[in-house]
């Protein structure tokens, strides 16, 4: 069993896969399409990448041994997910592993802006001693408005409350309040009371440009603004105007509509050069702790898919989390989602005399996945019949 991990993935992934019996090859850089096809040719079942490796349909077509791809990051758009699903190749990522890292950066920035640290440190480096308390505030007792109360928004809510901030939030979905946070009925209501507004919405297309001139105008005078969610959700020209006019007292921005691709590339933004503005290169989730967490989390998902049939948290296959592995008595069938497959599957078991003791089915985007545990090792007859069925994409046994 072979795994290939590219792009300097954390050693925690190597340890996890080796402990499950995999022979792991670890490479530091990414590979081109041709190089990747060559590297996968020697029977590699599991591929680990980060954001710089593109897995095209051609790579998938020419890598018949590949079972699963782990994106050791949040995004998965570097993989042709449709082609992978069509081949029954599971794709996994780490959607929650850097939540805490983002929250800690936001908290640090919030305090830094309230104390006007970007300007203070800049003046010191320029050789000017400016000890004034003008415009510097504690965050205790201030109201933090969180827009988007998902994984990151809710954890920010808890940590901010521990610092003595009052938390209000707005989310388009129904989200329960954590601690003493108050849910606001509209974005406008939130903007009317928040001393600090922090965006944590997702990147759905409808969110493009959703925070612009009207929203900045609706914020309290001298409020602070933070965005560590997606660059495209904010009109940064409007933010710049409001920072220059002084309506917004400071801002921290980690994400941009167009971000440089490689380390050391030039960066430009209308926000460059403004006082009390923290600009960071999309590092909200970039910590050693998050990398380690991503390493074992994704490696574990890959191993459980390959060795136990679990598709839990797969981004492109129906999600089934079967119970503890009963060795030699489990069968997984990935199939086209057509009427009658489950009935036919169970009739096949019954005909072969296999007694089903546990069964889990999930469907997604035209695919169905069913994991069945039997009372005794499954008969070769049933496995053969199922693998020849026209709806079958693959059959695996564990
Ligand atoms: N800066 C970084 O390095 C970094 C790292 C991780 C995640 N992120 C980004 O942070 C954001 C939040 O991540 P998450 O894991 O908490 O996502 P999530 O999906 O758990 O939460 C997003 C929340 O926003 C809500 N929402 C969506 N559109 C909204 C709108 N227009 N108004 C109000 N609420 C809205 C959703 O209902 C959901 O509750 C994402 O955009 C993600 O890409 C950035």
Name the residue among 167, 175, 174, 177 with its Cα closest to residue 146.
167
Looking at the CA of residue 254, tell me the nearest atom of ligand 1: 1
pLDDT category of residue 326 using cuts at 50, 70 and 90: low
Looking at the CA of residue 228, tell me the nearest atom of ligand 1: 1
Q: Where are the domains of the chain?
A: 1-93+287-317, 98-279, 318-397
For 128-180, the pLDDT digits (tens) are 999 999 999 999 999 999 999 999 999 999 999 999 999 999 999 999 999 99
Structure tokens at 205: 């297309």
232 lines ligand 1 (CB under 6 A): no
Q: Identify the CATH homologous superfamily for domain 98-279.
A: NAD(P)-binding Rossmann-like Domain (3.40.50.720)
102 lines ligand 1 (CB under 6 A): yes
211 lines ligand 1 (CB under 6 A): no
36 lines ligand 1 (CB under 6 A): no
Phi/psi at 354 (nearest 5 deg)?
-90, 130
Residue 30 and residue 142: Cα distance in Å, rounded? 45
Looking at the CA of residue 105, tell me the nearest atom of ligand 1: 1
Residue 89 and residue 104: Cα distance in Å, rounded? 35
Catalytic residue among 282, 292, 344, 396: 282
Sort residue 145 into left (φ over 0), alpha (ψ -120 to 50) or beta. Answer: beta
Q: 11 CA to middle of ligand 1, Å?
A: 28
97 lines ligand 1 (CB under 6 A): no
Annotated active-site residue 142? The verdict is no
Architecture of the domain spanning 1-93+287-317: 3-Layer(aba) Sandwich (3.40)
Residue 327 and residue 363: Cα distance in Å, rounded? 25
List the alpha helices (DSSP H) in the chain.
11-19, 33-40, 57-61, 81-86, 99-114, 117-126, 151-162, 187-193, 213-218, 236-245, 288-308, 341-352, 380-388
For 35-45, the pLDDT digits (tens) are 999 999 989 99
The per-residue pLDDT for 185 is 97
Asked if residue 113 lies in contact with residue 137, where contact means CB atoms within 8 angstroms, the answer is no
For 284-298, the pLDDT digits (tens) are 999 999 999 999 999
The per-residue pLDDT for 52 is 85
Residue 333 and residue 213: Cα distance in Å, rounded? 52
Annotated active-site residue 230? The verdict is yes
Query: Is 98-279 the same fold as 1-93+287-317?
Result: yes
Q: CA 317, 318, 323: angle at the middle one, nearest 5?
A: 115
106 lines ligand 1 (CB under 6 A): no
For 210-239, the pLDDT digits (tens) are 999 999 999 999 999 999 999 999 999 999
The per-residue pLDDT for 205 is 86
Residue 355 and residue 95: Cα distance in Å, rounded? 38
Q: 152 CA to middle of ligand 1, Å?
A: 7
227 lines ligand 1 (CB under 6 A): no
Residue of the CA atom closest to atom 36 of ligand 1? 148
CATH of domain 318-397: 3.30.70.260
153 lines ligand 1 (CB under 6 A): yes
Annotated active-site residue 282? The verdict is yes
DSSP secondary structure, 79-147, as one string: B-HHHHHHTT-EEE--SSTTHHHHHHHHHHHHHHHHTTHHHHHHHHHHT------TT----TT-EEEEE
Q: Which residues pair with 286 in a beta bridge?
A: none
Looking at the CA of residue 74, tell me the nearest atom of ligand 1: 6
* Contacts of 81 by beta carbon, 8 Å cutoff, 6+ apart: 91, 315, 316
Looking at the CA of residue 148, tell me the nearest atom of ligand 1: 24
pLDDT category of residue 93 using cuts at 50, 70 and 90: very high
Catalytic residue among 100, 230, 240, 330: 230
Catalytic residue among 23, 138, 259, 381: 259
Neighbours of 1 (CB within 10 A): 16
């Amino acid at each position: 069993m072979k795994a290939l991990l590219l792009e300097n993935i954390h050693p925690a992934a190597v340890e996890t896969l080796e402990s499950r019996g995999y022979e792991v090859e670890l490479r530091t850089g990414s590979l081109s399409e041709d190089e990747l096809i060559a590297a996968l040719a020697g029977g590699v079942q599991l591929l680990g990448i980060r954001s710089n490796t593109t897995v095209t349909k051609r790579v998938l077509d020419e890598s018949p041994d590949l079972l699963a791809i782990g994106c050791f990051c949040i995004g998965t758009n570097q993989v042709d997910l449709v082609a992978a699903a069509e081949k029954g190749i599971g794709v996994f990522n780490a959607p929650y592993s850097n939540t805490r890292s983002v929250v800690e950066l936001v908290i640090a920035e919030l305090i830094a802006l309230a104390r006007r640290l970007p300007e203070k440190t800049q003046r010191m480096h320029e050789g000017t001693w400016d000890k004034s308390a003008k415009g510097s505030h504690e965050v205790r007792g201030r109201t933090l408005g969180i827009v988007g109360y998902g994984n990151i928004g809710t954890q920010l809510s808890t940590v901010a409350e521990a610092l003595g901030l009052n938390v209000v939030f707005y989310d388009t979905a129904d989200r329960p309040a954590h601690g003493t946070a108050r849910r606001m009925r509209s974005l406008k209501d939130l903007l009317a009371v928040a001393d600090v507004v922090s965006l944590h919405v997702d990147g759905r297309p409808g969110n493009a440009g959703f925070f612009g001139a009207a929203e900045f105008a609706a914020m309290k005078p001298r409020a602070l603004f933070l965005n560590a969610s997606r660059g495209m959700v904010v009109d940064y020209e409007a933010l710049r105007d409001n920072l220059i006019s002084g309506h917004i007292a400071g801002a921290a921005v980690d994400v941009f509509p167009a971000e440089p691709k490689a380390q050391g590339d030039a960066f430009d933004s209308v926000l460059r050069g403004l006082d009390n503005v923290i600009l960071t290169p999309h590092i909200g989730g970039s910590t050693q702790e998050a990398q380690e967490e991503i390493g074992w989390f994704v490696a574990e998902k890959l191993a459980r898919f390959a060795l136990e049939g679990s598709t839990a948290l797969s981004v492109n296959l129906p999600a089934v989390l079967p119970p503890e592995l009963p060795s030699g008595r489990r069968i997984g069938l990935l199939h086209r989602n057509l009427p009658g497959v489950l009935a036919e599957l169970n009739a096949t078991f019954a005909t072969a005399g296999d007694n089903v003791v546990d069964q889990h089915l999930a469907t997604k985007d035209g695919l169905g996945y069913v994991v069945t545990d039997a009372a005794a090792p499954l008969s070769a007859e049933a496995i053969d019949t199922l693998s020849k069925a026209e709806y079958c994409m693959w059959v695996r046994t564990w």
